[in-house]
Amino acid sequence: MELELNGQQAYAYTGGKPFDAALPCVVFIHGAQNDHSVWGLQSRWFAHHGFAVLAVDLPGHGRSAGAPLPSIEALADWIELLLEKVGAGDTATPGKVTLVGHSMGSLTALECAARHPVRIARIALVGTAVPMPVSDALLGAARDNESKAISMINAWSHSPRGTIGGNTVPGMWLLGAARRLAERQPPGVLHNDLAACNAYTHGMEAAAALACPALIISGSRDMMTHPKAAAKLAAAIRDVRSVSLDGAGHDLMAEQPDAVLDALRGFIA
């Protein structure tokens, strides 16, 4: 699905079904240096089970044009603009939208629900932490040596099992696929995204203000967003349930796609 937002072409994958704004809507928001394709299994399941799906490419990522947005707040407002554009959860039928975000996308979902609560029925935060600090070494590598930064993220985003294989699809290589996906994004996107995560400082305030239910999905072996940080965030949300995927790293949708889908189905469907 292609549309125009703020004068720029934007793309959202609809899961193989035409988008229907009259249906309950699930918006999938990817993380840093990724695109809509990380939600392949989950987006298709919801699209084929009675939901309108938008797995977005954020500005400057994937098939969406323009420069990457410099802050989590700007990304949250862009998601709200997208919902307004397609008529999802409009003022006549509020509270019909679920936001599902991974890593940077989880911060975007949290901020969007706090800033624009009328449309949002619930949010799911996958591989999340608030705050989400990024080390100076990784920020510097993302600025000066992107290939090195991608290697660092790849090493930290996968569980021990994931680094030696572990893909649910025989013959597929988790680290190779993740690296190729990152290399598809334009230069400068990675540093922009990591800096946006690092600069987002009022996530706890957004969590405390959250008016809708939330689901937090964490990997027990996540080195990028540690489960202890996810638990701290959960404690700040009034209506929350938490799911821990045993043995999973930060790249949850690739390492344990069925478990992620099961958790989302239980929460949304």
CATH number of the domain encompassing residue 222: 3.40.50.1820
The token pair at 73 is: 């707040």
Please determine, for residue 121, whether its predicted confidence score (pLDDT) is greater than 70: yes
Q: Does a structural domain hold residue 11? A: yes
Per the structure, the count of domains in the chain is: 1
Q: What local confidence, expressed as pLDDT, does residue 93 receive?
A: 59
Residue 161 — very low, low, confident or very high, per pLDDT cuts 50/70/90?
confident
Residue-wise pLDDT tens digits, 54-81: 999 999 999 999 999 999 999 999 999 9
Q: What local confidence, expressed as pLDDT, does residue 169 receive?
A: 80
Q: Does a structural domain hold residue 72? A: yes
Task: Domain of residue 52: give its range.
Answer: 2-133+197-268
Please determine, for residue 92, whether its predicted confidence score (pLDDT) is greater than 60: no
Residue-wise pLDDT tens digits, 223-261: 999 999 999 999 999 999 999 999 999 999 999 999 999
DSSP type of residue 38: G
SS (H, E, C) 59-98: CCCCCCCCCCCCCHHHHHHHHHHHHHHHCCCCCCCCCCEE
Q: What local confidence, expressed as pLDDT, does residue 142 receive?
A: 98
Please determine, for residue 266, whether its predicted confidence score (pLDDT) is greater than 90: yes
